[in-house]
Amino acid sequence: MNNTQRLDLNLLVTLDVLLSEHNVTRAAQRLNLSQPSVSVHLARLREVFEDPLLLPGPRGMRPTAKADELREPLRLALETLERAVSPASPFNPAEASLTWRIAATDYTETTTLLPVLAGLRSKSPGTRVAILELVPSLIAKQAEQGEIDLAFHTTEGAPDGLRHRPLFSERYVLVGRNGHPRLKRRPTLSQFCKLDHAIVSPDGGGFRGVTDEALSRAGLTRRVALSVPHFLFLRSVLASTDLVAMLPSRVVRDTSGLQVVEPPVEVPGFEIAMFWPERSHRDPAHQWLRERIVDAV
């Protein structure tokens, strides 16, 4: 007797969740089952596959080689089955009551999410948006496990295994307060290096960035006097001090109190894209959300 005749769908669903959670208690909560029921399912699965599948570990349970081998084909099979038995119906944004979970930095909150929020509120008033702090190393895992629906990240260094759509390219400009005595005209490279600079360091506390790398190639350095983790705070700092900063141009678009000057050093820009898991790619609601974001930016 082959394994397909010894299995039922409930066992496969349980296995998929166990391979995601690595914990019987959390799996039981997601499945809305009792912990003993999940344990019974796991015992039956071990019998069918003639493998322990999950072994006790220091932080929950760790999958065996057999379990790792099953993980991806099982998930794809269940998703295919779900699509087969639940044909997609047309998405009606006016009547939807979904919650979108989106991972973003403060930069992409301002440049990518802010432009789309008003449209979302008017076209789909019953939906909610939860913005989560972007942790680049966790994007793929969070997307695969359904913890986030979308993430915004640069295309360079982006996670593998996710669908993505480029949104826009960004460039750096030199920014200081209105009336800054040293920004009445574009500074020379020498003058630029003598200014007191501020920098955004997402990892915290860094005093070196892409501008310093560009200067280093020319054998030059600058003085970075302030390091902050967020763009919003830095804009306030620049408006009230004589510090200057190299910032992405969209951060200071239509911002009062600040003066934008072309820098005397060429600093490579970057491209922002949105990322989502394969499981959501054909979902009509998810497609609608992605289209609204593309339209807005």
**What is the domain count for the chain?**
3
Q: Rounded to an integer, what distance in angstroms lies between the CA atom of residue 277 and that of residue 140? A: 8
Domain shared by 187 and 239, yes or no: yes
For the ranges 8-12, 88-92, 119-123, 136-140, the lowest mean pLDDT is seen at: 88-92
Q: Residue 1: its pLDDT value, please?
A: 43
Domain shared by 67 and 198, yes or no: no
Q: Rounded to an integer, what distance in angstroms lies between the CA atom of residue 111 and that of residue 231? A: 11
User: Which residues is 259 bridged to in the sheet?
Assistant: 176
CATH of residue 185's domain is: 3.40.190.10
Domain shared by 121 and 144, yes or no: yes
Closest CA to 144 of 75, 236, 225: 75
Q: Rounded to an integer, what distance in angstroms lies between the CA atom of residue 239 and that of residue 134? A: 27
For the ranges 3-7, 18-22, 24-28, 204-208, the lowest mean pLDDT is seen at: 3-7
Domain interval for residue 186:
172-268
- 19, amino acid identity: L
Closest CA to 294 of 167, 175, 207: 167
Domain shared by 126 and 263, yes or no: no
What are the pLDDT digits (tens) for 109-145?
A: 999 999 999 999 999 999 999 999 999 999 999 998 8
CB within 8 A of 28, min separation 6: which ones?
A: 34, 35, 37, 38
Q: Is the pLDDT of residue 260 over 80?
A: yes
- 57, amino acid identity: G
Q: What percent of the chain has pLDDT over 90?
A: 75
- Does 46 or 89 have the greater pLDDT score? 46
What are the pLDDT digits (tens) for 27-58?
A: 999 999 999 999 999 999 999 889 999 998 87
